Structure 1
């Protein structure tokens, strides 16, 4: 496999945090991209895509919805590759079974069925989540591609983001079964918390978590207590790397840095003292923190190299938020939280 102007690929969740950056990199690599969005006529959601270099000649927008059976068929028909990025990600959902879990599972199956029908698709890369790997009561020292989250524990505990962890875990397992039964070349990439600059107009859900020490959103501290991170650009380049590499097979963790909440706080406090991030987080003691490792050995053994540091990720995210007025330039006390777009206003689909 290799990129050329003859390669036509489909990217789902195109307007989102990961999807839009992935499209930017695909266009730079001379791919022709069919980008699926729920409403191609909503300029607020797609303008940043249309403004990308090469968009006029190498990008088309296609209407598709994870909850509408068959809606991806036309966009996928004739493509050589599919990057399935779209996923419902609404932590504030009042009906998570209907709004998050079911559409995630039915959506990936619908996309795989479209790939099986067209006969032109050579490989599918599915954006999974670290939430499929490490959510369990007793954490391991090292997590690799053989690990799966404990669904019983998630459904019992119902921690922040529980519906997302359930939906991604069930969707990936169902997808693997369908792909194997239908002889599809299927790869999953498993990112940890994705952080960095972005081109979407609103704050991405993962940055609401990553920057929660700035905003004071304590509900997300449980996620960053023992955190694992990857830069958005590294992740998108890994998608393309795995799509193109002839020996790529199976699941691939994509994570470059393991950092606990105190280490995250130290970076933010040093780079942005105006946000008054505490170097010690109330209620989180060092003895409560384990430091498990998310291993990207399989990905790196294939030849992939990460380029960005944890500081690069955080600075890129904060500076983009400041430029887009999603974070104030300076603040005192609770003023940050008051000025940040709350999770309920963040687009529910696309990560």
Structure 2
């Protein structure tokens, strides 16, 4: 709300460029339909924000997020002009599972086929992971068999200049359980520009049916405690959450390995298409 008011105050709301600002309650399907009317696609990137910066992400927020996801997809389906939706989920919807294989020497790959165990998240009070998992599943259920193309992007901890400060609720909530993620090779970050680019590429590829399903998105896997300590510092969190490395632990392979091959293929193919189109037009001119 504050950002919208600021944009209006300084004339940055895009009215002169054919872009308008519309506000709606994500829990109000009729309001969402009115907001979506005339749009060909929807990017559902909303997240809860704690204005006081104190309460954090709660169990109640997790339940609300799942309800909101279902209502957004339902509104998309019921809006005649909308045919595509890109839904922002989280890498946390993929990594938390009960059946960790403790005795395997080779890393287990975590890719788009993996889902976090909701019972595990609930038992360990991983509310942010629970909310993202439940919300994404709700979105897929609501879109199943309907006239709507849906793609979900599952980014790691989103970083970027000032991003974590402006979105501290989600950033701090993401790091609940960071000790285990760091030890298992599952703590990763994604620059906000990379995440935005992934959304755009997915949306464009949906037009020719070359994008579908889920896409894991990250830039960097945090492997050292000092890297995690820097994340803590940037978020203003108390230090000491990162585990001290055991003697000889640097020689041990991580038990898990993140895989973003699907997104890499999509983004490289879209870049090639843009390159070919640009040079074809330039040559003709």
TM-score, reference length from structure 2:
0.72
CA contact (8 A) 1:96 1:163 kept: yes
Structure 2 residue matching 1:87: 3-state secondary structure: coil
Count the aligned residue pairs.
Answer: 246
Structure 2 residue matching 1:110: 3-state secondary structure: helix
In structure 2, the partner of 1:284 is 244
1:52 and 1:257 map into 2 onto residues whose CA distance is 37
Of 60-69 and 180-189, deviating more is 60-69
**Residue 40 of structure 2 is aligned to residue 84 of structure 1:** no
**Residue 62 of structure 2 is aligned to residue 101 of structure 1:** yes
Q: Which consecutive unaligned segments of at least 5 residues does structure 2 have?
A: 102-106, 270-285
**Residue 223 of structure 2 is aligned to residue 252 of structure 1:** no
Aligned match for 1:294, one of 258, 264, 279: 258
Cα distance, 1:87–1:47 mapped onto 2, change above 3 Å: same
Shift of 1:172: 1.1
Cα distance, 1:79–1:209 mapped onto 2, change above 3 Å: same
Shift of 1:282: 6.7
1:178 and 1:303 map into 2 onto residues whose CA distance is 27
Cα distance, 1:66–1:241 mapped onto 2, change above 3 Å: same
1:95 and 1:66 map into 2 onto residues whose CA distance is 18
Structure 1 residue matching 2:116: 3-state secondary structure: coil
TM-score, reference length from structure 1:
0.59
1:93 and 1:243 map into 2 onto residues whose CA distance is 34
2:95 and 2:6 map into 1 onto residues whose CA distance is 34
Shift of 1:250: 0.7
**Residue 168 of structure 2 is aligned to residue 204 of structure 1:** yes
Structure 2 residue matching 1:124: 3-state secondary structure: strand
Cα distance, 1:303–1:192 mapped onto 2, change above 3 Å: same
CA contact (8 A) 1:112 1:175 kept: yes
**Residue 267 of structure 2 is aligned to residue 303 of structure 1:** yes
Q: Which consecutive unaligned segments of at least 5 residues does structure 1 have?
A: 1-41, 213-217, 306-351
Cα distance, 1:202–1:255 mapped onto 2, change above 3 Å: closer
In structure 1, the partner of 2:137 is 173
CA contact (8 A) 1:190 1:252 kept: yes
1:72 and 1:262 map into 2 onto residues whose CA distance is 43
Cα distance, 1:136–1:89 mapped onto 2, change above 3 Å: farther
Cα distance, 1:87–1:152 mapped onto 2, change above 3 Å: same
CA contact (8 A) 1:48 1:200 kept: no
